[in-house]
Structure formats: structure tokens, C-alpha cells
Amino acid sequence: MKLNDVLESELIEIVIYSFAAFLLMGLILILFFYFSRKKITQKELEKKDLEIQYQKELLSAVIITQEEERKRIAQDLHDDISSKLNIVALNSHLLTTLNLTDSEVLEITKNIIDLTSKALDNSRKIAHGLLPPVLDKFGLHAGLQELCLEFSSLKDVEVNYNCNCNFCLLDNDRHLHVFRILQELMNNSVRHGKATIISIFFEDLNGFKNCTYTDNGIGFEMESNESKKGLGLKNIESRIAFLKGTMVMESVVNKGISVVFNF
Amino acid sequence: MHYFLINFGIFLLFINVIVWVTQFSKQGKTYRIFTIYLIVIFCIQLISNIMMRHSINNIYLSHLYFGSQFILLSLFYHSIFRQELHRSTLKIGLVAGLLILVFQFSLDFSLFYKFNLLEILLTSLLLIVFATIHFYNLLNEKKEFYYINIGLLMYLFGSTILFLLGNVTALLSSKWNLLVWTLNALIYVVFQFFILLEWMKSFSKKKSAKIFL
């Protein structure tokens, strides 16, 4: 009887402790689940915030570029065209003065014709810079050929352009972005990279058009903050995002850069 | 089967002690604390095994086992935890747990000669809490001491219940009274496998330092 009592009390003790153990383990599990959920949601929020921050930066880059472009156009118009048209107006006024000799009239008209043709030329150049007519009428291939020709004739740089795919004229809206990206890259290569050889290669790859761009310039450090915040690069990124493509950029100091993107 | 499992568990523990000791001087504080834990537990297991073979009552070694496991693993987690809240929680848990046990033993010293259920519950549960906090910290982070944590949690979940039954096993018929300890030995083998896995994944020379699965 006494043994049974001892046994019973031991059993009761075990039951209570086991019950407590299971209960507390369950509680720990529930708490773990609760706090984990909280932590994961918080991490996701942080990620979303980062994304939003990135998009804001892109947006501000776009706005700044737009303003700079406007400034450039205003400057071009003011310096190249307005000033020439001003002189044309002055010369025209001169024509109205009395008692001009024939030779004087001839000289003034010659001036006027000269200046108007120059102004015309400049306005064509400005318009051309804004949207190359070749690109608009004959597609990306012709546009790029002209761009390469321009670069190799105006600047001291050798451009190798190779294209293994066809560009449809209907896609010209998208191709304009590709054109701009390459224009920006080439400008960067020449201006900052001091490159002497640039090569551009297009091919069809897995249903995408793939473009490989390389130069032999001084390159830049991928990790440095300077290159990360460049307006030009941001612009390229947002154009790539617009094309729903992907881009890989690699560069080593003094070894040039290579950019591969598809669209 | 029973003795085979126990001996296999001790054998695995022995291997773990050896492989963990080989990197002792090259690794950080956390690694060293864990290695010390392995060595201490190995000594206790060995002594209790020898005593068992000579039919000497070794049950009071269980207090040493639970106590040293509790203290050393708490220190282990203390050196892993980075957040101040977690560290202070751990310190409070460690000190409070030890105080309660000392108080309990000073009230009733006869507890020394049998399994102390409060001791088992308290030390195991606090270690489960620390291991869970570590799992929480591992979310979205690189997996540091991940396998040890899995093994320890499994071992504690299983063995706590088995140890709680410890005092009545002697009352079972001779056919069944080893069942509880066989199950315990089995889960201990699993625990040792995870410790070995941890060492191979994170610390063996071949894949030094860089691989965190």
C-alpha cells in the first residue's frame, strides 16, 4: 500500500512535469512562429522601400537629364541660330538704307545668303542630333551605321559595327532606346574612357536580340560610388528597364569596359 | 541493441571531440566553448559508463551532466547572440535557473540521488528557448551553427520527456526497463551526427570558411 502511494506520487509528478514541458515547448513554438512572421514581413517591407527608393532615383535622373537636354537645345539655338539670324536681320536693315552702290548691295546680299545657309545647316544639325532622320526612316541598322561613321570620322576612334539580325521598322520606338544607349556608351567611351577602338555586335539569342559593346578605354572601378551615381548610367538602366531587357556591365581599370544587354 | 547504441553514441562523441579539437586553435570563441562542452560531456559519459559496468550507482552524475550542459551551452549561445536583448535574456535565464536549482537542492538534499525533474525541465526548456532564439536570428542570415542547433533541438525535445520518466523506469519489468534509455541513446546518436555534420560543413579544412549552405 505504501509502495503504491510512493509510486502514485511519482507518477503524478511525472505527469505534471511532462504536461508542463509539452505546454511550454508548444508555447515556445508559437512564439517562434509569431516573431518569425513579424521579422519576415519587416524584411519584405525594407526590400520594398529600397525598390521605391531606387525608382525615385531613376525618376529624378530622368528629370535631370530632361532639363539638361533642354538647356543644351536652348544653348544650341541661342548660339548657333539666333546669333546668325540676328546678323541677317541687321544686314537686311542695311539694305533699306538709301544710296547704296551696286557692289555694296551685292556684298550685303552675299552675307545674308551665307548666313542663312549656315543657320539652315546648324538647325539641320541640331534637329539631326535630337532625332537622326535616318533612324526614323530607315531603321536602327542604318541609324547605327551613320552613328558609327560619324564617330569614326569626327573623333579619333575606330568603330567596328557588326549586325547579325534584322530590325523591324515597326519596332522603331523601342529601337530609339537602343540607339540612345549606344550613343551614350560611345560618348562615354570617347569622353571619359579615352577609347580608341569600339566594337558593337548584334545577334539573335534565345528569341532576344543581344548586343555586345566593348571598348579599350581606361574603364572604371565597378565598386566606386562615382560610377554608381552617374546620370548617364542611370539613364541607360532606365532605358533597359523600359525595354524589359537585362544588362551586364563589366569593367576593370585600364582594361576597358564590356556591356552586354538584350531586348 | 541497447548497449550497442550507447557505445555507438559514445564512440561518435569521441570522434566529435577529436575532430573539433583539431581546429581548436584556429577558430573563434564560440567554437572553443562548444569544443569544451564536447570534452566535458565525453568525460561524464565515460565515467558514468565505467561506473555502470561496475554496477555503481551513477545517478548523481546526471546533475553534473545537466548542469554542465546547461552552463556550457548557455555560454555557447551567449557568444553567438548579437542582439543585446537576446544576450540579457540569456544571462537572466542562466542565473535564475541556476539560483532556483541551488535553492531547491539546499532545501532537499535527497534529490541528489535521483532524477530531479525540475532540474531536467528547467535546463532543457531554457536551452530550447535559446536554440529557438538562435533559429530566429538565422532567418534571412547566413547559417551559422545551423546543424548543431537542429540536432540539439531534436535531442532536447526527445530526451526531456525520456529523462522525466527516468525515476519510474526502475519499476518497470526487466524486459522493458531499458526501453527509455535505448530511445535516449538513439536520439543521442542523431544529435552526435548533426554535430559531426556541422563540423564537416563549416569547419573541415577542405571547404574552409567560405561555405555556408
Residue in chain B closest to A30 (alpha carbons) equals: B132
CB A161 within 8 A of CB A144: yes
- Pick from A13, A21, A35: CB nearest B161: A21
Q: Which residues of B touch A10 (CB under 8 A)?
A: 167-168
- Pick from A10, A25, A43: CB nearest B167: A10
Residue in chain A closest to B135 (alpha carbons) equals: A32
Q: Which residue has the higher pLDDT, A228 or A164?
A: A164
Is the C-alpha dihedral spanning A39, A45, A46, A47 positive or negative? positive
With respect to residue B212, please indicate whether it lies within any of the assigned structural domains. no
Q: Give the number of domains in chain B.
A: 1
- Residue B142's domain spans which residues? 2-203
CATH classification of the domain holding B25: 1.20.1070
CA distance A229 to A64: 13
Bridge partner residues of A208 (DSSP):
A205
Q: What is the pLDDT of residues B141-172, one digit of tens each?
A: 888 889 999 999 999 998 988 888 887 777 77
Residue A151 has a CB neighbour count (10 Å cut-off) of 20
pLDDT at A95 (0 to 100): 83
Distance between B39 CA and the closest CA of chain A, angstroms: 28
Q: Which residue has the higher pLDDT, B199 or B3?
A: B199
Q: What is the mean pLDDT of residues A208-237?
A: 75
CA distance B192 to B60: 23
Q: How many CB pairs lie under 8 A apart between chains A and B?
A: 49
pLDDT at A144 (0 to 100): 86
pLDDT at B187 (0 to 100): 92
> Which pTM value belongs to this model?
0.66
With respect to residue B77, please indicate whether it lies within any of the assigned structural domains. yes
Residue in chain B closest to A13 (alpha carbons) equals: B117
Residue A244 falls in which region: left (phi positive, over 0), alpha (psi -120 to 50) or beta: left
Name the band, by pLDDT with cuts 50, 70 and 90, for residue A47: very high
CA distance A116 to B204: 81
With respect to residue B187, please indicate whether it lies within any of the assigned structural domains. yes
Name the band, by pLDDT with cuts 50, 70 and 90, for residue A49: very high
With respect to residue B208, please indicate whether it lies within any of the assigned structural domains. no
pLDDT at A132 (0 to 100): 78
Answer whether residue A252 shows pLDDT above 60: yes
Assess A40–B contact: CB distance below 8 Å, yes or no: yes
Q: What is the pLDDT of residues B54-93, one digit of tens each?
A: 888 888 888 899 999 999 999 999 999 989 999 999 999 9
Return all residues near B13 (Cβ < 8 A) that are at least 6 apart: B38, B41, B42, B45, B192
pLDDT at B86 (0 to 100): 92
Q: What is the pLDDT of residues A80-90, one digit of tens each?
A: 888 888 888 88
ipTM of the complex as predicted: 0.75
With respect to residue B213, please indicate whether it lies within any of the assigned structural domains. no
CA distance B171 to B179: 12
Name the band, by pLDDT with cuts 50, 70 and 90, for residue B40: very high
Nearest to A259 by CA among A159, A181, A192, A169: A181
With respect to residue B211, please indicate whether it lies within any of the assigned structural domains. no
Distances (CA, A) of B197 to A132, A180, B48, B183: 65, 55, 26, 21
Instruction: Give chain A's domains with CATH numbers.
Output: 138-263 (3.30.565.10)
With respect to residue B210, please indicate whether it lies within any of the assigned structural domains. no
Q: What is the pLDDT of residues A53-80, one digit of tens each?
A: 988 988 888 888 889 888 988 888 888 8
Q: Is B164's CB within 8 Å of A24's CB?
A: no
**A18-27: long-range pairs with CB below 8 Å, 24+:** A18/B161, A18/B164, A18/B165, A20/B121, A21/B121, A21/B124, A21/B125, A21/B160, A21/B161, A21/B164, A22/B161, A24/B125, A25/B125, A25/B128, A25/B157
Three-state DSSP class for residue A241: helix
Residue in chain B closest to A34 (alpha carbons) equals: B136
Cell of B16: 566529435
Name the band, by pLDDT with cuts 50, 70 and 90, for residue A229: low
